[in-house]
Amino acid sequence: MKITRRQLGKIIQEALFTEDKSGEGECPKSGCVVKRDGKWRVMSNKTGKLWNATYKSKKDAEAGLRAFHGGY
């Protein structure tokens, strides 16, 4: 079976953002990207605390999270 780089990126992205974290960390069921005070933030799934970084859009915050995990 062969898959393209884009397909692999989508598979990884889905795994990162839909992973079952029940019993682990403090992220809400909706995911680790949350909007607080009008800005998008990433919540640590280990500590439940917000990252210092703020983002203008949810897409930018998700990209920051992917970059942290070494994703595409």
For residue range 4-29, what is the model confidence (pLDDT) as tens digits?
Answer: 998 888 888 777 666 555 555 667 77
Query: Which among 24, 65, 18 is positioned nearest to 48, based on CA atoms?
Result: 24
Are the beta carbons of 48 and 27 closer than 8 angstroms? Answer: yes
Domain ranges of the chain: 5-68
pLDDT score recorded for residue 12: 80
Write down the residue that tokens 């605390």 correspond to: 49
Mean pLDDT of 28-34: 82
Whole-prediction pTM value?
0.58
